[in-house]
Structure 1
Amino acid sequence: MPQHDPSTSAEPRRFRDTPVSFVRRSGRMSDGQERAWAELSGHYVIDVERDAAATSIRPGTTVDPAAVYGRTAPLVVEIGSGQGHAIVHAAAHTPETDFLAVEVFRAGLARTMLDADRAGARNLRLVEANAPEVLEHLLPEASVDELWIFFPDPWHKAKHNKRRLIAPAFPPIAARALRDGGLLRLATDWEDYALQMREVMAGADGFTPAFEGEWADRFEGRVMTAFERKGIAKGRQIRDLVYRRAQRRSDRP
């Protein structure tokens, strides 16, 4: 269960002062998804303490991954897991690793739980929350071995670019959560967003490219999904990037 620092209890509940990278849809879940939530969420879903927003995480709330998963193992976090195709496949085929899916759309989380249960992927957990708040508040510092962000919303209209997740404010949050030597894996089928990702990461403290040339090779651990096939069918090139978390500086002499 998440732990909350009592010293923050008297603080007023805060509304976000920056745009989020999603617009939350309110579509009704199917009967099967409702049953999945009722029957499976007790195992798969991490319950968190909220701030003012429905997908927020109250500052001071944190989890202990070893307690959540019942063991100490490498941890992979996927941001924007959608219906969970990539992370369920990875969890089912890599039982020695723990996985965390971060998503704001409950129907997608319900589908993820259904597929994970069918696949016997008990090493997967889900959290319904805004991803930067998960990295900044919920997960302990240096607790993540790999952070995956595959095909985030491109917000391709210029007036909406400010909503893109991979922006200058993001690398410090990702750097906090990743362990030294951990990997940040990115993929998109929108060229201008890929260029923005590369520009943002080129100027980010705490990261070094883990590839040579302009783009990284396609990540073999990412299962080909219908979403990726759709981008290819429309003639869009899939571009991968991967960055390694640099060694943290020590203040000791």
Structure 2
Amino acid sequence: MSARHADAHTALWPTLGLTVEDGDRTPLDLNELFGRDNPKVLEIGFGMGDALAAMAAADPGRDYLGIEVHTPGIGNLLALLDEREREAGATGNVRVARGDAMQLVHRLAPASLDAVHIFFPDPWPKARHHKRRLVQPANVALLRDRLRPGGVLHCATDWPDYAESMAATLDADPELERAGDDRAGRPETKFEQRGARAGRPITDLRYRRRT
């Protein structure tokens, strides 16, 4: 981490951080984690955290839990939250987890999430690696189970073949219905801008759990 990231990590991790241990299936109470009973949003793989920080700041009525394994990204998000705390005096609706995302999801109660965000996950472009992709039937079924009825699973990618695979997988889930293909308030990230400059089309897919 840079010195800026390290300072933010030291200041905020004890109160905002959550380490997801391998093999831990202890139920995780999100209301207890945030200290309030508000709608919850899970972002899987938040990268450098720019989108998560911006969405949480613009949406104070919901609580945002982001999980990532990339240490610099965790440090950068904590630095953004530290700056927000200095400017606005609050970081209350964000928590930051480190570890395996699906391990975390297994610990959540059914129907405990208002939304799940999966923005620009690793596309694993080689065919022999496609089985490692996050958006696949078993993971989608588990994520959908954690959504409340009417909750939204929002995915975005800049890889056309992954977009097709995502859409086919999500369409095949009997308890999900297409809710739109627009950004729906998702901020544009630097990663996304690089993809667009490289000529890769951006695809957003939003699905709602049937009521």
Interval containing the TM-score (normalised by the shorter chain)? over 0.9
The answer as to whether partners of 2:45 and 2:66 remain within 8 angstroms in 1 is yes
Aligned residues: 206
Question: CA, structure 1 residues 155+47, in 2 after alignment: closer, same or farther (shift >3 Å)?
Answer: closer
The aligned runs of 1:1-20 (5 Å cut-off) are: none
Aligned counterpart in structure 2 of residue 166 of structure 1, from 126, 131, 135: 135
**How big is the shift at 1:31?**
3.0
SS at match of 1:210: strand
User: What amino acid does structure 2 have at the position aligned with 1:140?
Assistant: A
- Matching of residue 109 in structure 1 with residue 79 in structure 2: no
Between the aligned partners of 1:62 and 1:162, the Cα distance in structure 2 is 27
Asked if residue 34 in structure 1 is aligned to residue 10 in structure 2, the reply is no
Identity %: 38
Deviations 1:156-188 (A, max 9, x none): 111211111111211111112111110000110
Q: Which runs of 5+ in 2 are unaligned?
A: 86-90
1:220 alignment counterpart: 184
**Cα distance between partner residues in 2 of 1:112 and 1:200:** 30
Normalised TM-score (structure 1): 0.78
Match of 2:162 in 1: 193
Q: CA RMSD in A?
A: 1.3
Partners of 1:151 and 1:189 within 8 A in 2 = yes
Provide the TM-score with structure 2 as the length reference. 0.93
1:234 aligned partner, one-letter code: A
* Match of residue 50 from structure 2: 85
Larger strand percent: 2
Q: Give the conservation status (yes or no) of the 8 Å contact 2:8–2:82.
A: no
1:33 Cα deviation after fit: 2.3
5+ unaligned residues in a row in structure 1: which ranges?
1-28, 51-55, 248-253
Q: Does residue 58 of the first structure (1) align with residue 24 of the second (2)?
A: yes
Task: Give the number of the structure whose residues are more often helix, by fraction.
Answer: 2
SS in 2 for 1:122: coil
